[in-house]
Structure 1
Amino acid sequence: MASADLEGLCFHINTKISAIKKTLQLRNIGQEPSLKSMLCKIGHEMVFLHDLLNKMEAEVQEQEKLKNLLKELQKSAERQQKEAQHLHENIPPHLLKRTQTCIAGLAAKCEEQTKVVEPKRAKKPTKESQPIKEAPLITAEEFKSVPAYMKGRLTCDQVNAVVQDMNKAVVAKYKIMHQPLKSMNAAVRNLYHRFLEEETKDTKGQFFVVEADIKEFTPLKVDKRFHSILNILRHCQRVREVRGSGLVRYAIC
């Protein structure tokens, strides 16, 4: 056992001496003028490779988030398809009976029903005929084209989070605008009248929100960061400003 311990100790000491020799040799090599420029180039290449790896990692993360978003859209489409298939396969029996009755020879009765229904359709408000417009998300390619002084430290995900919140505010506002006045409570009716007062000839047919709507319907803070993101959204043609009567309106492009 003593002999084995001594051999191990000798091996350890020899290993340390060898490592010290290699360190001294490398230090001497680094001090040679002919190799200093080579070591400097290697250092620059290492920095370049480090930056490149960081960019690649950021791009991979961006693509991963995009993939997850596409998966969610696919699941939503599949759910809607299943619902549509379920509705198609479960048509109420009384509707089928009416169809068979019309085919069997009661065409006159069907025409009378159609005449009764058509005037009612004409009385429906036209507000709901136009779908509520929402701003599409910023793509990774679009975000790359944004000038660096606009982006600062902002990321594409942070910008798209604001886009989604602004869309929520637009949808919430125009659902109220399309709502029958009689069905509104006092608070909603006040909002409705404010919305009407903010309309101008320049906003006719446009979907827009103001800062009060953003505060009302979203958790967003209307601060310096929010306005920096708005600059990016204007640059990417997601929103445009309509000013008038001391109010800034953010219209969906």
Structure 2
Amino acid sequence: MEVKKAGASLDSVISLFNRRIAELQDLVIARNMYPATSVTDLSAVDAAVKTMELQVQAIKDRLRDETLAIPKAKKLIDAAVKQQKKLQDLSSYAPSHIPERMSMLGLDTNRCLFPEGSQQNTGFGSLKLEEVPAALPKEKKGRSTPPLWFITAEELDSLSGYMRGRLTVEKINAAINDMATYAEANSQLISAPKKRVAGDSWEKALELRDIAMTEAVKGKHFFLETDMKGPALKPDNTGKAILTVLRHLGRVSETRIGPHRVIILLKRH
């Protein structure tokens, strides 16, 4: 019995050995069939596996960095959105077009302060003011400029439809710019000395000074209804509607002094 068992075990070992040899032969045949793609030895396989592991690790590191950067990117996006909203709110306060105040003011003030045909004597003869442009009178120290308190789209939308009419934020803010120009011209005319005021404007300068000394107007910037000569604010139905809106929104107040309707510019609270 023991001899039979030993023989069976030997046959089993021989069978396994033959099977392993057959597998190796198949592998050799397969390698010879595809010599270009076969791996010559296990060291080459190990090197290829290590290279792939390094690539996989690099991909994992990149994914980790991108994941960590996502919260920072979200914060930047939120900050950009907030900044955009602030800029939109600020842009609603300014009109789409602001006329050149000083150029208009310079022309009007020169007409009032210097009579046409007046001359300026120098050591080399006389030159007309048309040839040598006259400088605007220097402002007194401490004199403030007229307030430019523009309205917003939200303020205009808060009004009733019949009060808004066809008015737009741009039209109203352009009118506010005109009002500041009128008030600045009056302020310069009030403070100008008599020798620098044209003869036909001296009477208006005296009237403006009397108005400026009244209790309702003292220390404030103002203009008269007769000053409303455009380009945006005129004494027509649109101009009256604009003044109504601005009174309601607290930008101006009105009073009557003698024959004049006086519009006072109010400052931001």
> TM-score normalized by structure 1?
0.47
Name whichever structure is richer in helix by fraction.
1
> TM-score normalized by structure 2?
0.45
